[in-house]
């Protein structure tokens, strides 16, 4: 079985994404790759160390590829003036980070604007009190000003009387989330999943 390294920025991503991505890949590959997460502990640390980590794994011969995953919210890029839309910003940042590694086996992607946006793609997995408050718009349009994690925290606090715990609540919700549904409603997530499929030797 091949192995793909996932460079991530936090504990929630480290815990939930291999299983979540694996469910999507297992429907397309007879022998899906092992997904090995590496937590770089924050967007700042990620951007300081991802090149070294990616190159080390690729040169080791122990991985078929490396995928980097960052939240757009919190990465704090200085986008050029010509990058005004999310698509332009995404492509600019993706090309910039991939060029720094300089190996086609490294693919950089971003959660737009946070991985919690993917949870909003399937309101039925959320507590009944929260579901009516999920905005009726594409999850990736829940933006920098009021990002998905902030909304979830507010809904849990005001509607359920408790705090939203990313590691505990997020883990449970991701186990229920259908990756097909999330990819259908989140185009940038689909780009990430398709790149994982390519790294694993599958056809898109």
Over residues 134-166, the pLDDT tens digits come to 988 899 987 767 889 899 999 999 999 999 998
Pairing type for strands 106-111 and 65-71 reads parallel
pLDDT tens, residue by residue, 56-85: 999 999 999 999 999 988 777 888 888 888
What is the maximal distance between C-alpha atoms in the chain? Answer: 50
* Gyration radius of the chain's alpha carbons: 17
Strand partners, 34: 3
Set out the domains of the chain in order of their start, with CATH numbers. Answer: 3-116+178-199 (3.40.50)
**Tokens 């229920």 belong to residue:** 176
pLDDT at 181 over 70: yes
User: Hey, what are 43's tokens?
Assistant: 């967007």
Question: Residue 44 and residue 150: Cα distance in Å, rounded?
Answer: 20
The average confidence (pLDDT) of the chain is 93
């Amino acid at each position: 079985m091949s192995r793909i390294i996932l460079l991530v920025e936090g504990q929630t991503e480290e815990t939930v994404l291999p299983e979540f991505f694996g469910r999507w890949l297992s429907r397309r590959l007879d022998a899906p790759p092992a997904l090995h997460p590496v937590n770089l502990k924050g967007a700042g640390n990620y951007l300081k160390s991802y090149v070294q980590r990616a190159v080390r794994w690729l040169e080791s011969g122990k991985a078929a590829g490396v995928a980097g995953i960052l939240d757009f919210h919190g990465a704090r890029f200085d986008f050029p003036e010509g990058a005004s839309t999310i698509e332009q910003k995404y492509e600019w940042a993706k090309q910039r980070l991939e060029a720094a590694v300089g190996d086609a086996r490294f693919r950089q992607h971003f959660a737009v604007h946070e991985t919690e946006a993917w949870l909003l793609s399937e309101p039925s997995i959320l507590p009944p009190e929260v579901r009516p408050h999920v905005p009726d718009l594409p999850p990736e349009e829940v933006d920098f000003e009021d990002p998905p994690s902030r909304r979830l925290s507010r809904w849990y606090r005001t509607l359920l009387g408790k705090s939203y715990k990313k590691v505990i609540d997020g883990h449970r919700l991701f186990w229920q989330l259908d990756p097909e549904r999330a990819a259908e409603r989140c185009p940038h997530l689909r780009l990430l999943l398709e790149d994982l499929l390519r790294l694993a030797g599958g056809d898109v």
